[in-house]
Structure 1
Amino acid sequence: MEQSVVIVGGGPTGSWLACELRLAGVPTVVLEREPEVDPHSRALTVHPRTIETLALRGAHRELLAEGGRIPSGHFAVLDERLGFRELDTDFPFTLTIPQARTTELLRRRALALGADLRCGHRVTGCTETGAAVTVSVEGPDGAYTLEAAYVVGCDGTRSLVRRCAGVAFDGTPHTALGTLGDVVLDDPPPGAVASAWTTDGTLIAVPLPDGRHRIVMHSPEDVRTDRPGELAFEEFRERVRRVVGTDYGMRDPSWLSRYGNTSRLARRYRAGRFLLAGDAAHQHMPAGGVGLNVGVQDAMNLGWKLAAVVDGRAPDELLDTYHSERRPVGADTIEHTQAQTALMMGFSPQGAALRSLLGKLIAERPQLRDALAERLSGLSVRYPPPGRAHPLTGHRAPNLRLSDTRSLFDVLRDGRPAFVGFGRTDGLGDADDRIDRCRCPLAPDRAAWAGVNAVLVRPDGYIGWATDETDASALAAEARTAAAALYDPRLVARPV
């Protein structure tokens, strides 16, 4: 059997995973049930870490060219904005770009890399049979089956793949609703983003590339467990008027919708030859626009590991680290969005007092503001290593400027890991020929990097190993162990 991967779902998560697998030469089929990209985009934002993720492969330029740049974010629509300019990244902003366009760009890259993208092909069942998974599909020309080494469910909150794998989706049903509308505003609010919170409701308004605005709202009457019928335009307009005193000259809605704060997390991200990513693995209120971003970062973590297992460079156990690293991120995302839901929907005097107090704390304590900004941006994620390790291990690597005029992201563009040396690094020369080697004139001017002599950066841009060692023979021994442990979690790099 050809060692192939079938991805179910061709949204941003499935498309980026296909890009990563094809970059490594893995035969990849993407099965997308819809014949066309959905023009209604729930997601509008691409956060700094996701831009970095795309930049690691040189796939970010079109998004940068098309997206609007917002240099700050929000936590629960508090008045105190979370500035991104001080974040340690080349991309200190959020991009506003509709999910439909992001999907189109990522699909185009996947196709260029050789992915077999099949739109209008609906998966009806998946069965694991020892050394393979049989996938049953209903296509435009009839039913057929595929065999794959692994199947990845990127097929949303109602994931068929998750059900076929027998993975529980634990959590809570919705207790609150939100409403959104894409509308024309004849008298729009000034600025890139407008927001308001009163005891009559919460509102955020963001301009869209087509000249419309996306307005997102929460109202006191939406603290409820039932789900009323379709959202009427007049109802939506009246809600906006109650919060801000005007409807901004609202007309010509192209999309009106309700959504809830249902929060669920897959009990396992990996079950045998089934894996889950994106909304198939985690569901939450879209507070802060994090959903698409977490999904793409799921795919980035999984892509290099799955490729290494499929082509025999790593044992099957490497896939278990996808679960151990990414499921805590999903749990953290649910906690983060549920906390924001409570604050956004806290329309009582007590809720207003809590918002006021938290806003004052953010304004008075820059460290708290920056911590919330890092969490929202995705830059705070760390994958804790097993056992003792250098404090840098598991953190993302910044885009270091190297001695030969390249940057670290340039080196990682082909999806291979890289050793980066800063001082006496002769010992890296014979470490592992599967891993690129490069030099940086100086370690970054950051306290955590003081004394660091070398790091091993994983294909997804996270540090797999770091050392202060300068003795050539000791450094070489450490590096060889670290290189082996990168692909085989049964091995542990020697602590430093």
Structure 2
Amino acid sequence: MSTTDTDVLVIGAGPTGLLLAGDLATAGIDVTLVERRPHGLGNMTRAFGVHARTLEQLDARGLADELLATGTTLATARLFGRLDLDMTRLPTRFNHLLVTPQYEVERLLERRAVAAGVTFRYGTELRGLRQDADGATAELTDADGTPLTLRARHLVGADGVRSSVRTALGLPFPGRSVIRSIVLADVRLAEEPADSFSVSGSGDTFAFLAPFGDGWYRVMGWTRTRQVADSEPVDLDEVREIARLALGTDYGMHDARWISRFHSDERQAPAYRVGRAFLAGDAAHVHSPAGGQGMNTGLQDAANLSWRLTAVLRGEAPDPEALLDGYQSERHPVGAMVLRSSGTIVRLAMAHTPLTRAARSLAARFLNAVPPASARAMSMISGLGVSYAPAPGTGRPSGRRAPDVHLREGRLYELLRQGEFVLIAPEGAAPTLPATAPVTPKHLVRATWPDPSKKAAVLVRPDGYVHWARH
């Protein structure tokens, strides 16, 4: 047995774990990231869409523009053959959906984490976990089967739907399977679709198609007439048949580079924090792929948790327990909201009775006819509409997403690339921060409004939400 100490032990090197580990290491925190897969083993998962709020988070880490170059951006989406969602109205410079494979997101986040000094342990699995007042001890098995004990001040499980951390903590994962036998494939097409992104179906079958921008398309399909186990083989002929039933054509699909079958659950852990251990991403919540919110929600979890752990480990949090509990109080309701919204979309896609089809048609007509309602729906799916309850004494706008305003020192999200709180104030002003602010002047980035008439002082958290405001 050997023992290694680290400030934070992250289990799981998917997008959520990589972003979290990179944030912490960038802030000077000692981080070890454990992943059961060998290094270099491809992670061909079903995530393919990066929403606007996630792109803003990646922009705050200097990665958004590079990621945009790996895929294609979609300004509109058509659902159920009649509902048109216009993302150009989103109040952000990323007013679109980016279609790019999850492995491109992981590639950039892994590179950032390596550069920041994260210690990686690939081919290593969690076997047991115990906690005490000072930290967490993980019992691991490394790549050659050697047992290893790793001691950390805090531990984060970002290890997916079958989370070993969640199991070790004894947390239930209540919920159920909402849809079975979904087929996925990355294919080339002989015929280009008229709609760049579409979801359509009859209720007994549905499919969607989206371009990656490099000649490859992601297709997902389901039919009520073929409900089989995930282990059942799937070939391109089955994918083509479902596409023809749902979309009216298979667009000449050929040369599939990847085909898979899976089922979709709706589940959420009751607690995201147990002592010094936390859950994030699919380890904490899993839901229908409808709306493409899974990976995005996990990345937002990581962005919310990383600055809290940083403030506590630096000794800058006036009330460390309350700050860490804030992760649960802010992110658990968001996970529940995503379960509801993605579940609604997939149930509308599966509508097959006259009553449910009529409800779907009515909802589509309403959203098409009432732009504010459509904008609200897009705001929540994109993540831009997510806000948190303000803490007492922090001011009315606190908890809201901070827009990417232009300041004398540059764009706000460029300043956030330093990974610190940003204080925006009028020129020459030196506002006194509230006693509850988990930051010291040493780690504070100061910025100035370009408009001399603006008198407000605003403290923006590292995850791009307003912490405190004074007018």
Same fold (TM over 0.5): yes
- Larger strand percent: 2
Q: In structure 1, what is the equivalent of residue 156 of structure 2?
A: 152
Q: Does the 8 Å CA contact 1:218/1:344 hold for their aligned counterparts?
A: no
Residue 417 of structure 1 corresponds to 421
Structure 1 pair 294/374, CA: closer, same or farther in 2 (3 Å)? same
Q: 1:214-229, aligned counterparts within 5 Å?
A: 214-221=218-225, 229=232
Paired residue for 2:456?
A: 453
Answering whether residue 449 of structure 2 is matched by residue 440 of structure 1, we say yes
How many angstroms apart in 1 are the aligned matches of 2:322 and 2:176?
Answer: 31
Change in 2 beyond 3 A, CA 1:400/1:210: closer
Kindly provide the amino acid, as one letter, of the partner of residue 433 in structure 1. Answer: P
In structure 1, stretches of 5+ residues that fail to align are 445-450, 469-496
Q: Identify the residue that residue 398 of structure 1 maps to in structure 2.
A: 403
- Give the drift of 1:459: 1.1
Q: 1:440 and 1:190, CA in 2 relative to 1: closer, same or farther beyond 3 A?
A: same
Tell me if the contact between 1:200 and 1:242 (Cα under 8 Å) persists in the aligned partners. no
Partners in 2 of 1:32 and 1:456 — Cα distance? 36
Native 8 Å contact 1:37 1:100 kept in 2:
no
Q: Deviations over 1:19-41 (max 9, x none)?
A: 11001111111111111343423
Opposite residue 185 of structure 2, the aligned amino acid is: G
Match of 1:7 in 2: 10
Among 258, 263, 268, the residue aligned to 1:260: 263
Residue type of the partner of 2:449?
C
* Letter in structure 2 aligned against 1:328: P
Q: C-alpha separation between the residues in 2 aligned to 1:58 and 1:121? A: 30
Among all aligned residue pairs of Structure 1 and Structure 2, give the percentage whose two residues are the same amino acid. Answer: 36
2:336 corresponds to which of 315, 327, 331:
331
Aligned residue in 2 for 1:173? 177
Three-state SS of the structure 2 residue aligned to 1:297 is: helix
In 1, the alpha carbon distance for the partners of 2:187 and 2:61 equals 35
Q: Which runs of 4+ in 1 moved over 4 A?
A: 224-228, 428-432
Contact map agreement 1:6 1:150 (CA 8 A) in 2 = yes
Aligned residue for 1:138? 141
Match of 1:375 in 2: 380
| CA distance in 1: counterparts of 2:244 and 2:415, whole angstroms | 52
Task: Give the conservation status (yes or no) of the 8 Å contact 1:278–1:295.
Answer: yes
- Aligned ranges for residues 75-474 of structure 1 at < 5 Å? 77=80, 79-141=82-144, 142-209=146-213, 211-221=215-225, 229-314=232-317, 315-387=320-392, 390-404=395-409, 406-422=410-426, 425-428=429-432, 433-434=441-442, 435-442=444-451, 453-468=456-471
CA contact (8 A) 1:29 1:115 kept: yes
SS across alignment from 2:384: coil
Question: Once the 2 structures are TM-superposed, how far is the Cα of residue 401 of structure 1 from its aligned partner?
Answer: 0.7
Change (3 A) 1:92 1:402: same
Asked if 2 retains the 8 angstrom alpha-carbon contact of 1:73 and 1:288, the reply is no
CA distance in 2, matches of 1:412, 1:463: 12
Amino acid at match of 2:448: R
Deviation at 1:242, TM superposition (A): 1.9
Please list the CA deviations of residues 237-261 of structure 1 after superposition, one character each: whole Å capped at 9, or x if unmatched: 2222222333222223332223333
State the Cα distance separating 1:10 from its structure 2 match.
0.2
Aligned partners of 2:6 and 2:153 also within 8 Å: yes
TM-score, normalised via structure 2 length: 0.91
Post-superposition shift, 1:399?
A: 1.0
Aligned amino acid, residue 118 of structure 1: R
Aligned mates of 1:129, 1:200 — CA distance in 2: 52
Range with greater deviation from structure 2 (367-376 or 210-219): 210-219
TM-score (norm 1): 0.86
Tell me if the contact between 1:78 and 1:359 (Cα under 8 Å) persists in the aligned partners: no
Q: CA RMSD in A?
A: 2.5
Aligned equivalents of 2:33, 2:349: Cα separation in 1: 38
Secondary structure, aligned partner of 1:381: coil
Instruction: Describe the shift of the 1:410–1:254 C-alpha distance in structure 2 as closer, same or farther (beyond 3 A).
Output: closer
